[in-house]
Structure 1
Amino acid sequence: MSACRALRRLGPRRRIALPAAFAALAAVALTACGSGTKTASGGDTKFVQGTGGVTVVSDRSERQAAPDLSGKTLEGKDLDVAKDYRGKIVVLNVWGSWCNPCRAEAKNLVTVANDYKDKGVQFVGLNTRDPAPAAAIAFEKEYGVPYPSLYDAEQKLVLRFPKGSLNPQAIPTTIFIDRDGKIAARALKALSEDELRRTLEPLVAEK
């Protein structure tokens, strides 16, 4: 299911609420997703539409740095993605326990996270819009999620992504960060195992 269709099926209360500064970006993403065009926004950045609706930046020199992604996990532990996972490929999944597409892709994320943990790949969740951690923790237990999730109920971390970058514009969103800490790809939809692997393999192969 595409991100657009997923958001249409979710009621207004379940859609991601973006401040006015990001409303235009959200509109661009939804329009592009619905029309099949690229979701790129922002002048000179050379985004390339990959397979399965995943937008990638194949030219490493064109990638933008990921923002500071640090804070408390659902369990209340400190996590600094750039510091704790320096030199690793990071797969950042923006999700909520209330999100049906998030449930649909959870088992795929878990399987691929386990398969790639010895290949220098670290999965990290970014839980948003859950008013308290309890429901999100129960979600992780239900699906056997082996990686940590930053707790971002008010979407402060989500909004740290720079304008014009491959920033989160829907729930779920999955962002792929290369070993240099730069944003290499983004998916605005629930991902299958094959889509996750196809996006990861070129990044794993980079030297």
Structure 2
Amino acid sequence: MSLSRGLHRAPRRALVAVGVLSAALALSACGGDSNGTSGGGNTNFVTSKGGISTVAKGERADINEIAGETLEGERLDVADLKGKVVVLNVWGSWCGPCRAEAPHFAKAAGDLKGQDVAFVGLNTRDANKQQALAFEADYEVPYPSLYDPQGKLILFGFPKGTLSPKGIPSTVVLDKEGKIAARAVMAIDETQLRSMIDPLLKEK
């Protein structure tokens, strides 16, 4: 293969990869699957009938970098939240199931204020920040959201074969060491959310 030929093919491969990732995110947008999924590779996790997957302590994986600018324009790095249970909720203002679960997340965040829990939203597919900010105001969301309109943090923030977000909405909960401990791939209520958080608060 000639050098010029290789140079032409490399950008094309990159564009194809980006296209595949974008298509995957689009296909999974605003899903309501309550059956859960099983892990790939050597990942060991259990999926309950309620669609919430968990990983035993000692078998959990670290996230990749999840950092950027919030909807309010402030810098936020999830790595700085180690020492707390971290709830990462993927949402978009255009997503009906996201609107359904928003009051439950706002209430849980309020009830857990002062405890070792941090909530971070991952706002995606909102081309207009104002719509996302209006969503936060409407539902009185008391925690920040990273602005991720193209879904890059969602696609690249979680290692392959781990409990990564598979739709919008999705929720991933990290333990106090910053490792992936639980995931829901559907809209959930406060009871389901607390079932993901409370066991991790008790861990030593």
TM-score range, shorter chain: 0.7 to 0.9
Do the aligned residues in 2 keep the contact of 1:26 with 1:169 (CA within 8 Å)?
A: no
Within 5 Å, give how 1:1-207 maps onto structure 2.
Answer: 19-20=19-20, 33=33, 36=35, 39-50=37-48, 52-57=50-55, 59-83=56-80, 85-160=81-156, 161-207=158-204
1:94 is paired with a residue of what secondary structure? strand
Label 1:101 to 1:112 Cα distance change in 2 as closer, same or farther (>3 A). Answer: same
Cα separation, 2, equivalents of 1:60 and 1:67: 18
- 5+ residue gaps, structure 2: 1-17
User: Per the alignment, do residues 202 and 22 of structure 1 end up closer, same or farther by CA in structure 2, a change over 3 Å counting?
Assistant: farther
Does the residue aligned with 1:91 lie in a helix, a strand or coil? strand
Decide whether the 8 Å contact of 1:74 with 1:151 is kept in 2.
yes
- Flag the 1:25–1:73 CA change in 2: closer, same or farther, 3 A: closer
| Cα distance in 2 between the residues matched to 1:27 and 1:61 | 33
Whole-Å separation in 2 of the counterparts to 1:39 and 1:123 = 24
The alignment partner of 1:119 has SS state of coil
Report percent identity of matched pairs. 52
Q: Tell which structure's C-alpha radius of gyration is larger.
A: 2
**Is there any run of 5+ residues in structure 1 with no aligned partner, and where?**
1-17
TM-score (norm 1): 0.81
TM-score by length of 2: 0.83
Structure 1 contact 25–41 (Cα < 8 Å) conserved: no
Distance 1:75 1:27, change over 3 A: closer
- Cα pair distance change 1:24/1:42, threshold 3 Å: farther
Measured against aligned partners, the alpha-carbon deviations of 1:131-169 in whole angstroms (never above 9, x if no partner) come to: 021100000000000000000001110111111111111
**Bigger helix share:** 1
Tell me: CA distance 1:24–1:158, structure 2 relative to 1, closer, same or farther (3 Å).
closer
